[in-house]
Structure 1
Amino acid sequence: MTYPRITLLAGALAAALASCADSSEPSAAAESGRTARDSRPDGLFADFLDGKYDSAGHPFGAAVVEAESACEHDTGMAEAEGWAALADKHAPGILCRAKASAVGKGVFTVSVRALSQEPDAAAGPAVLSVKVRDLQGAELGSKEFMSKSWPAMTWQNLAVRFSMADAGPVSIEVAWSGGSPVRIDYLEMFRSERQLVLSPASGVLAPGAQMQFEFNDPPTGSKLEADCDGVDQTQVLTDLIAAGKATKQTTDFRLIVTAPADALLAACNLPSRFKVKAVAGDQVRATSRVSYRLAPIECAFEPGKVAVLLTGFEPFPADSTSDNSAERAVKGFDASSLPQVSVMRMILPVEYDAAPGWVADAIERCKPDVIVGFGQGRCAVDLETTSYNLKDTAEVSGGVPDNRGVIYGGDPIVEGGPAQLSSLLPVDKILAQLQEESIDSGLSDDPGRYVCNNLFYTIMTKIQGTGRIGGFVHLPRMHSVDPASQAMLQKVVTAVVEQSAAVVGGR
C-alpha cells in the first residue's frame, strides 16, 4: 500500500496525530477531507522522547500551560483540545495570558503549540505574537509569527528564547491579529541551552588538533565522562587535566574542557566513535558523539559498471542504543543480484555539516553515477521528492541537536542557493517496485529540516548539470533490526539501486 500523505483539514480546527505504534486513531472529518499535520516527520525525533522528554513530549522540568484550562483569554473559544479564534466570530486580542513560576537564571524558551487553518496574508503579516515579560513588565523576549512562513493546518512549535537574570517568575502573552483562524494547544517554558558541543566535527583530524567539549548551563558539580567505542577514556582525560596538558574552565553558564587530540585518542583504534557525557550527580544531562578517521573513505568502484554510492547514518541521538535502520540497510545490502552495478558504502555521522561534507568530498573524488542517501524517520518507506535550503530544528521541543551537539535555527544550507531542489531518482518506478513487493511506501515532499535534508540538498546541489542522478529515502524507524526487517531493507535498497542503475545504464 502507499504510505498515506498527512493532508490538511478544513472547517473546525482539529488535529489527528499519527504514531508508529498506532495509526488507527480516529480523526475529525471535514468537507475537504484535509487533516492537520505535524511540522516534522512522524517519529523523526522519536528517540528524543526516550528519557529526554516526558511522555507528552514536553522537556522534563518544563512549565506547561494548557491553553483551554490554564490561560486567561480576551477572545476566542474553547475547543476539545486547545483554544481557538475564528475571523467571523472573534475580535483580535489575547488568546492566552499566563504566568510561569520561578525558574532560575539562564537561557529559556517559551514554546507555543499552535495551528493556523488558512494563513491569510491579506489580513496582516503576523498571525500570532508572543511576548515574555518579567514581574516589573520589562520585555524579556518577543516574536511575531508571520503568515507567509506558516503552512496551513500544520502544527507549529512557535518559540521565543530569552535570558533570565533573576529567579522569575515571568508572564507570557499570546496575541491574535485577527483574520487567519488559529488554535493553540499549550504553552511550555523550559531551559533551552543545556547543550554539549564537541569540536572539531567528525572527520580526519589535523596534526596537532585540539579537542574541545563545551557544556552550556552546567548544573553545579557537573563533570564530563568520555569513551571511545565503549572503552572508558575518562581517566585519560582526568590525567591530562591534572598534568596541565588539558584545561578545564568553569563559569556560571559554561564548562569548557580542551585537550590534545593525539593524547586523548591514543588508545582509540581509528576510525572510532568518541562519546562525551555531561554528568551531574547520578544523572546524565547531555551526550554528544563524533567520529574520527585517519584518512577519507577510499573510493571503491569497479570500472565498467554503474557506480552507486549509498550512504546511511550512525545511530542517533548520541546516547542511543538503538539500531539506525539506514546504517543496517546500507551495510547489509547484498548487490550480487545486480552484476551491472558497483556499490560504495558510507556510514555518516549525524552532523549537519560533516555528513554532507563527507559525501560532497566523495562525489568529487570518486565520481559516482548514482548517489542515494538513506535515513530513518517515519513508519514506512518514504521516497523524498524535494530538498530544502534550510537547516532548522531550533524550535522542535527547544532544539534538537545533531550528534555533535549543534542546533541550527533557520540557517540556509547554501547561501544564495535555490529554495528547493528536486530528487533526480526515478521515484515513481521505485515506488511501483516496492508496492509489487507489498512494502508500505509512498512519496514525500517533506524530509524535515534536520541532517537528512541537509545531506539531500547537498547531494542535489553537487550533481546539478553533471548527468548524475541522486536523491534521498527515509526508511522506517526500528529500535532493533531483526532478520525479517533486514530482508525488507534488502528489498528496498535493491529497488532503489536497480531502478536508478537502469536510468544511468540506459543512456
Structure 2
Amino acid sequence: MRKILLTGFSPFAAETTNPSWDAVVALDGAIVDGAIIVSLQLPCEFDRSLQVLEQAIQQHQPELVLSLGQAGGRVDVTVERVAINVNDARIPDNAGQQPIDTAVIEHGPVGYFSSLPIKAIVEALHEQGIPASVSHTAGTYVCNHVFYGLMHLLPQYPTVKRAGFVHVPYAPKQAAAHPGMASMAVTTMTKAIRLIIETSLHTAHDIHVSGGITH
C-alpha cells in the first residue's frame, strides 16, 4: 500500500507536550486517497532527528513526507517555503547540543524550497476556516535542521514525490502557561494536516497568488 510519512517532535524547552506530535499521532494508520499514514515522533535533537527520519524513509518508502514542528508565538498554521543551511540554536536541544553558525549539511546548497503546493494549501485551510499563512523562515533550530535535511535527502529516495514542513502554534494548555500567546486546538491542527495531505496529493501545480509578508 502507498504510504504517507508524518513527523512531529518530542517536547522540548521545559514543555511537557508538543502539539506537532499530538496532532500527527492522531492520524497514524488513517487512510487518505488509498495511502496509509505512518506517524513518527522525531527527537528534538540536531544529530538524531535526521537519522531517525532517514531510517523511516528507507523503511516505508513514502510518496509524501510532511514534517511538523511547534512554533510558540505564531498565531496560525504556517506552511514553510524555504529551509536554510544554518544551525544557530538559541537554546540547547534535548541532548544538550547548541550548534551556533554551523551548516546543516557541509558544502550543501544555501537553501531548499518546499515541494508542497504551499499557497494552494493555505487557500484550502482558509476555505475550511483554519487560520494559515505562508512562512518564509523555519528558524535556525531543530525544525529548520529537519526541513533542510529532509529536502537534501530526496534525490536518494525517488519514491518521495513531495515533501515539506509546517509549523503549528501552542496548544491551549501550553498557552495558558505563556500569557498573551496564541493557541490552536490540537483537533484543529489534525484537521489541517489532513487537508494539507489531500491538497498535496490533488494539486499538480501551485496556485499563483500573493503570499508575501513584510515581517
Same fold (TM over 0.5): yes
Tell whether the 8 Å contact from 1:391 to 1:412 is kept in structure 2 after alignment.
yes
> Which residue number corresponds to residue 459 of structure 1?
150
How far apart are residue 379 of structure 1 and its match? 2.1
Give 1:2-401 correspondences, 5 Å limit: 303=1, 305=2, 307-317=3-13, 319-321=14-16, 323-333=17-27, 336=30, 338-377=32-71, 378-393=74-89, 396=90, 400-401=91-92
| Cα offsets for 1:57-109 (capped at 9, x unmatched) | xxxxxxxxxxxxxxxxxxxxxxxxxxxxxxxxxxxxxxxxxxxxxxxxxxxxx
More helix by share: 2
Large movers: runs of 4+ above 4 Å: 334-337
CA RMSD in angstroms, aligned pairs only: 2.0
Could you tell me how far apart the structure 1 residues matched to 2:27 and 2:173 are? 17
Could you tell me how far apart the structure 2 residues matched to 1:447 and 1:435 are? 21
> Which residue number corresponds to residue 261 of structure 1?
none
| Cα offsets for 1:201-260 (capped at 9, x unmatched) | xxxxxxxxxxxxxxxxxxxxxxxxxxxxxxxxxxxxxxxxxxxxxxxxxxxxxxxxxxxx
Q: 2:185 pairs with 481, 485, 495, which one?
A: 485
How far apart are residue 360 of structure 1 and its match? 1.4
- Structure 1: tracts of 5 or more residues without a match: 1-302
Helix, strand or coil: the match of 1:372? strand
Could you tell me how far apart the structure 1 residues matched to 2:151 and 2:132 are? 22
Tell whether the 8 Å contact from 1:314 to 1:324 is kept in structure 2 after alignment.
yes
Question: TM-score, normalised on structure 1?
Answer: 0.36
| Larger displacement relative to structure 2 (343-352 or 464-473) | 464-473
| Cα offsets for 1:269-321 (capped at 9, x unmatched) | xxxxxxxxxxxxxxxxxxxxxxxxxxxxxxxxxx2x3x11000011112x323
Could you tell me how far apart the structure 1 residues matched to 2:28 and 2:61 are? 22
Identity %, equivalent residues: 30
Tell whether the 8 Å contact from 2:86 to 2:145 is kept in structure 1 after alignment.
yes
Question: TM-score, normalised on structure 2?
Answer: 0.82
Helix, strand or coil: the match of 1:477? coil
More strand by share: 1
Helix, strand or coil: the match of 2:36? strand
Larger Rg: 1
Aligned residues: 191
| Cα offsets for 1:458-491 (capped at 9, x unmatched) | 110111373521000001122538xx81321122
Tell whether the 8 Å contact from 1:324 to 1:479 is kept in structure 2 after alignment.
no
Letter in 2 for 1:369: E
In the alignment, structure 1 residue 445 sits paired with structure 2 residue 153: no
Could you tell me how far apart the structure 1 residues matched to 2:21 and 2:138 are? 18
Provide closer, same or farther for how the CA distance between residues 331 and 423 of structure 1 changes in structure 2, counting only shifts above 3 A.
same
Could you tell me how far apart the structure 1 residues matched to 2:29 and 2:39 are? 11
| Cα offsets for 1:389-422 (capped at 9, x unmatched) | 11112xx3xxx10011110011101111000000
